[in-house]
Copies of this chain bind each other. A is one copy, B any other.
Amino acid sequence: MNTVGNDIRITLWGSSHGSHIGCVLEGVRGGLELDTGRIAAEMSLRRPSPGIGTPRREDDEVLFLSGVTEGITNGDPISIMIANKDTRSKDYEQFRHRPRPGHADLTAIIRNPNHDIRGGGMFSGRMTAPLVAAGAVCRLGLEEQGVDVGAFTRGIGDVSDPQQRVLDDCRDSRSFDSRACNKELDERMVKAIMSASSEGDSLGGVVECQVENLPIGVGEPWFDTLDGELAKNMFSIPAMRAFEIGDGILSSRSRGSVMNDPFSLTGNEVFTTTNHHGGVLGGRSSGMPLVFRCFFKPTPSISKVQSTVDLESMKNVQLKIEGRHDPCIVPRAVAVVEAMTCHCIYDMMSRGGFLEN
């Protein structure tokens, strides 16, 4: 089933080159004021930046077909719809028997011979557009709980941001095409993307996400941990390949005396003096900022000639992919990571009985 979440649930439908894409968002309480300007702002954060993204142009106007009365949520399921306007489907039919390396063509077609392969069908990054809209609604619900979510580009190719970052940095990153935290990093990242692109190649990268003001204890017991649910959600995003909470990778090479974050008090509030654990202990929020990283592989669509197979002639063949693609998906993925985090956190808070209104 094409569904994610338990108490706040998204059911996704559509395909890259169908007439529309959309989702049904369930469980959002009535009485929430929908700020369409802010939803449009989130949508625009996901749109390709000129020069470093695909030339496909979609206005991504979000229609709310149900669940909203006069701009206020009414507690019913929220049906979200977005039109696909700028599609060019003719180039794709060959991938049905000549799967693109690094793509879902092979695994989709073998499982389902009727797979809609135009633009990658349901496996396309295009499907993340309604997720960003749904995430923007969830963000409104999180904000009334005081919970704040942000993300930024931690690295692209071999350009990596070495600094510790906070939520304010995430917000700053919105003004840079690469979603890096400052101008200097942005310039280096954009340059790296354009350099790869000019060679018909693509780049991977890392998105970091942070969540502040979570109450202590969000996360279900075995097996729906907060980090586990976040990881699963992030792996839905095309090209996601690794998930790290806090200093997870580093900690695997380290010692308990170094990685155990000591508890301390400020007034009556418990916190940890360091945050190697990234805000999750025992699968639940510790009250410290949530910090996690998503590692994305390079966009598999490159214009260099590649080797693949022809499933009709059963021969090895060479393939050159035409069409419009992002040489690096990471800057656009920042908006998707944020949106899916908003949804996941809102759902996990709801499941734990943390939502107050």
* Residues of chain A whose beta carbon lies under 8 Å from any beta carbon of chain B: 1-4, 9, 11-15, 18-22, 24, 26-27, 30-31, 65-67, 69, 72-79, 81, 99, 101-108, 110-116, 121-123, 127, 155, 157-158, 160, 196, 200-206, 216-217, 219-225, 227-229, 231-236, 238, 240-249, 251-265, 268, 270, 272-273, 276-278, 281-286, 295-302, 304, 306-309, 311, 314-316, 352-353
Q: Which residues of B contact A14 (CB under 8 A)?
A: 65-66, 76, 79
CB pair A272 B103 closer than 8 Å: no
**A87 CB, min distance to chain B CBs, angstroms:** 13
A-B complex: 5 closest residue pairs judged by Cβ atoms:
A104-B282, A30-B114, A241-B248, A228-B235, A111-B217
Inter-chain contact A1/B22, CB cutoff 8 Å: no
Complex Cα gap A323–B11 (Å): 35
Q: Give bound CA distance, A180 to B84, whole Å.
A: 46
Complex contact A225–B236 (CB within 8 A): yes
What residues of B have a CB within 8 angstroms of the CB of A259 in the complex? Answer: 102, 204, 297-298
Docked-complex contact B222 and A122, CB < 8 angstroms: yes
Q: Are A252 and B307 in contact (CB under 8 A)?
A: no
Q: Are A265 and B298 in contact (CB under 8 A)?
A: no
Q: A299-B256, A304-B257 are in contact. Are A283 and B115 (CB under 8 A)?
A: no
A sample of 28 cross-chain residue pairs with beta-carbon separation below 8 angstroms, ordered by A number, consists of A2-B77, A4-B222, A11-B77, A15-B66, A15-B76, A20-B79, A22-B79, A24-B24, A74-B114, A76-B121, A102-B277, A103-B281, A107-B217, A107-B219, A107-B284, A108-B217, A111-B352, A201-B256, A229-B232, A236-B283, A241-B249, A242-B242, A242-B245, A259-B297, A260-B302, A270-B309, A273-B307, A277-B297
Instruction: Give the residues in chain B near A247, CB-CB below 8 Å.
Output: 241
Across the interface, do A13 and B252 meet the contact criterion of CB distance under 8 Å?
no
Most buried by B among A155, A256, A277: A256
Q: How far is the CA of A210 from the CA of B221 in the complex (A)?
A: 27
Report if A306-B260 is in contact (Cβ < 8 Å); known contacts: A1-B220, A201-B255: yes
- Residues on the B chain within 8 Å of A298, using CB: 251, 254-256, 258-260
Instruction: Tell me if A155 and B253 are in contact (CB < 8 A).
Output: yes
- Are B106 and A265 interface neighbours, CB within 8 A? no
Minimum C-beta distance from A299 to chain B (A):
6
Question: Measured between alpha carbons, how far is A37 from B255 in the docked complex, in Å?
Answer: 36
